[in-house]
Amino acid sequence: MQGSYFLLKSLYAFLFLLLCSSNAFSVTLIQATEQAVTTNPEVLEQLNQKLSRDSEIRQAESGYFPSIDLVAGYGTETSDNNSTRATKFGHSRSMNRQEAQLVLRQMLFDGFETSSETARHEYRSESANFQLINLSQEVTIDAITAFINVLRTQKLVKFAENNVKIHEKIHDQVELRSNMGADNQGSLSQITGRLNLAYSNLEAERNNHQDALTEYEKVIGTMPDDALEEASFDLPFPENYKDALAKALANHPAIMAAQADISAVRMQQRTSKSNYYPDLELELGSEWADNQNGVRGHDNGHYAMVNVRYNLYQGGADKARITKDAYLINEAQSRLDVTRRKAVKVVELSWNAYESSNRRVTFLQKYVDATVKTRNAYEQQFRIGERTLLDLLNTENEIFSAHSENIKNQYENIIAKYRVIDSMGILLRELRLSVVTEANVTHESGR
């Protein structure tokens, strides 16, 4: 009975440990990038700018709707006019005056100003949206780089720790042989120096890891409280440089934003030209008044009018404004050209980095395999006295260098692939990440 009790207790303990291990989780690359984008203050700033431009669209559209004004007043009026002087009250007369007026005005034609302004703000909102996507993409690639660099330095620290253990083991063996008189003091000095070099390499890798964690916190927003899941690249990749460049010129949000800016300025020039046209307005009004101009009683009326207003001259301001807008169009076009050149340069640099790291993958792996075989052969030859301790230590250092370079290049190759996708302007789409939305912003609603 007691044995069954302990067996059951052990089973419960095992299930508890299994449950705890199943609750443990690691942070994925997607989770880290989502956190970086949704909490980045610059992204949220750009989002607020985009939302403010959306409100400007509604503000411009208000020109299509009527405006209604109500004016009312009450007070004392003293009048001295022909009407008051003709009465028995003398030259002036004081009465309590009250009046009200309700006026509706509806724009019929304003020289295409409202339609032009609405279109301009729509293009400005479109530009802000592409800028938001572009900024979110920049934060995403920074987050990916920070995430992968933590993995890289983490692995290099573990490898450096293993390298220290190997040197410590050799040091202990040589020290034992030296104390027994089998090895001279020079061998012990050699391994002691190499052991200290291994300690130095470990300290350097630990410092690099701390730097990577600091950068991770800066970009992601928090330190990784949990282990990071191993990163890989499994996105569709362009077949060649020309394919990548063509997609960048067609899809990059920075280029799309610059194109929207040109359209916005063109609509601004169209708004400026609206002053060359007359304004046509429908006005409906009702007026109620009591005791006005010294005459007791009410004076009510209603009217409906079509008003035309046409500015004939205002010092050449309209022409100057149109000329200014023409220069702004040229400026926006030049900005688009600069943006395209930058996009071409980024694609080229990203593709070159990818090809370089891709070519190095095979070479470095062969280098690692060769150094491991050399170390194994040297170790056997050292045991039978055909190799010196210095030969063995040299192979250990070469293995450390080969593995370190191979690890660095493997992760650099992953980053390079992500950077190619980023240079094409489709990183968010391929990762299926959404930009921040209005739901991420706290704002006060008003009238």
Query: Does residue 1 form part of some domain?
Result: no
Secondary structure class of 213 (helix, strand, coil): helix
Q: What is the DSSP letter of 281?
A: E
Secondary structure class of 385 (helix, strand, coil): coil
How many structural domains are present in the chain? 1
**Residue 97, CB-side half-sphere exposure with 13 Å CA sphere:** 16
How many Cβ atoms are within 10 Å of 347's Cβ, its own excluded? 26
The pLDDT assigned to 125 comes to 95
The pLDDT assigned to 127 comes to 96
The pLDDT assigned to 16 comes to 36
The pLDDT assigned to 183 comes to 56
The pLDDT assigned to 424 comes to 96
The pLDDT assigned to 294 comes to 59
The pLDDT assigned to 320 comes to 94
Query: Does residue 31 form part of some domain?
Result: yes
Both structure tokens of 398: 């070469």
Q: Does residue 90 come out as left (phi exceeding 0), alpha (psi in the -120 to 50 range) or beta?
A: left
Cβ–Cβ < 8 Å for 287, 99: yes
Query: Does residue 96 form part of some domain?
Result: no
Spatial CA neighbour of 418 closest among 219, 152, 228, 144? 144
Give every CB contact of residue 257 below 8 A, 6+ residues apart in sequence: 126, 127, 128, 130, 131, 134, 339
**pLDDT tens digits, 203-228:** 999 999 999 999 999 999 998 877 88
**pLDDT tens digits, 389-436:** 778 788 888 888 898 999 999 999 999 999 999 999 999 999 988 776
Query: Does residue 35 form part of some domain?
Result: yes
At residue 267, what is the residue type? Answer: M
**Nearest-5° angle of CA 128, CA 219, CA 259?**
20
Query: Does residue 322 form part of some domain?
Result: no
Q: Cite the DSSP H helix spans in 180-275.
A: 185-220, 241-251, 253-273
Residues of the chain predicted below pLDDT 70: 1-25, 80-91, 177-187, 291, 293-295, 297, 436-447
For residue 50, give the CATH number of its domain. 1.20.1600.10
Query: Does residue 414 form part of some domain?
Result: yes
370: Cα separation from own chain's centroid:
44
**pLDDT tens digits, 89-136:** 666 777 788 889 999 999 999 999 999 999 999 999 999 999 999 999
Range of the domain at 414: 27-68+112-276+334-433
The pLDDT assigned to 27 comes to 86
Give every CB contact of residue 222 below 8 A, 6+ residues apart in sequence: 35
The pLDDT assigned to 397 comes to 84
Start-to-end Cα distance in the chain: 76
Spatial CA neighbour of 289 closest among 95, 82, 83, 105? 95
Give every CB contact of residue 403 below 8 A, 6+ residues apart in sequence: 159, 368
Could you give the dihedral angle defined by the CA atoms of residues 5, 9, 14 and 17, in that order, rounded to the nearest 10 degrees?
A: 180
Query: Does residue 304 form part of some domain?
Result: no
Query: Does residue 84 form part of some domain?
Result: no
Spatial CA neighbour of 319 closest among 277, 279, 276? 276
Cβ–Cβ < 8 Å for 200, 141: no
Q: Report DSSP letters for 27-88, one per residue.
A: B-HHHHHHHHHHH-HHHHHHHHHHHHHHHHHHHHHGGGS-EEEEEEEEEEEEE-SHHHHTST
The pLDDT assigned to 443 comes to 41
